[in-house]
Structure 1
């Protein structure tokens, strides 16, 4: 069962480690109004982004990494897809990598994090997770989803599941399909 309760006052005063910086960056996103919008949009490359008031679950991750750690997932995913296109899903009928959208697709991020991050076990205990971990899910309707763990003890994640970035007690609320650490 999902306890989708907003968490108030849970923002840390310090962010010293890469994981703490990532958590602070995704929590900051929860303070801004963002309309859920996954539409294909032409964006600059590298360091491109859709409008700040638009986004989906992947944009929470992308913006968090860019803000907290200076990591441009748009460029990293695009370069890997250009070099190793056959390793990535073909669900969208693309014939080549596309820097406008590839990094905004959960299945592509899963491949990228498997290749360049640390694959962690998918567990059912809070102790299996750490703040800053990335968790992918399969939502009802077979929809892929991604979130950043902010406090595993309280089962907290930051994600955008349709109402903008939110911090919720939902770590175990959906079918977990992947668990990764990257850049931490």
Structure 2
């Protein structure tokens, strides 16, 4: 009986680590650390591979935040792509998954979150976006982007976003600055 209680405690503790505020706090830790934007292809370790902490792209904010919670999106995206490659976008001419880059591409994360998380309606209402939600946009030049909804809001009640749009990881008022293309919730 005691073993079961301990197992339950461990399970609840792990689930609590994927709480929205924990994700936000993990993302916020990158502010002032990831100070550059560099999207070039780099060979990285697998699993738990990463580019240098001082640099990265918008997806690295998401990947690093989840990794601090014990969730390796590099490994999870790779395993899903390996098993279901045809379900993922064919935008880069690849014939098989690539552990160095697949998890660092917004369209691949969108597909992964659609398949394994909650895909929520895109809305023009600020209250639809809850702390810890993931949002994707299409930036000018047809560039996909992703960020995490913060619990902090602007004066009008619109949630701020933690992201890296080219100047390092920051928390900014950009939720409705670009066309929203996706809205997701993901946790263990």
Q: What range is the shorter-chain TM-score in? A: 0.7 to 0.9
* Secondary structure of 2:172 counterpart: strand
Q: 1:120, CA displacement in angstroms?
A: 1.1
* Secondary structure of 2:29 counterpart: helix
- In the alignment, the residues of structure 2 paired with residue 72 and residue 17 of structure 1 have an alpha-carbon distance, to the nearest angstrom, of 12
- How does the TM-score come out when normalised to structure 2? 0.86
Number of residues of Structure 1 aligned to a counterpart in Structure 2: 169
Alignment-derived partner of residue 41 in structure 1 = 42
- Segments of structure 2 that go 5 or more residues without pairing to the other structure are 1-15
Q: What is the CA deviation profile of residues 46-92 of structure 1, one whole-angstrom value per residue up to 9, with x for unaligned ones?
A: 0111111110000000000001x210000000000011100111111
Q: How does 1:43-62 map to 2 (within 5 A)?
A: 43-62=44-63
- Segments of structure 1 that go 5 or more residues without pairing to the other structure are 1-14
- In the alignment, the residues of structure 2 paired with residue 57 and residue 73 of structure 1 have an alpha-carbon distance, to the nearest angstrom, of 14
Alignment-derived partner of residue 10 in structure 1 = none
- In the alignment, the residues of structure 1 paired with residue 38 and residue 18 of structure 2 have an alpha-carbon distance, to the nearest angstrom, of 31
- In the alignment, the residues of structure 2 paired with residue 17 and residue 80 of structure 1 have an alpha-carbon distance, to the nearest angstrom, of 20
Quote the RMSD (CA, aligned, Å): 1.5
Q: Of the two, which has the highest radius of gyration?
A: 2
- In the alignment, the residues of structure 2 paired with residue 50 and residue 173 of structure 1 have an alpha-carbon distance, to the nearest angstrom, of 28
- How does the TM-score come out when normalised to structure 1? 0.88
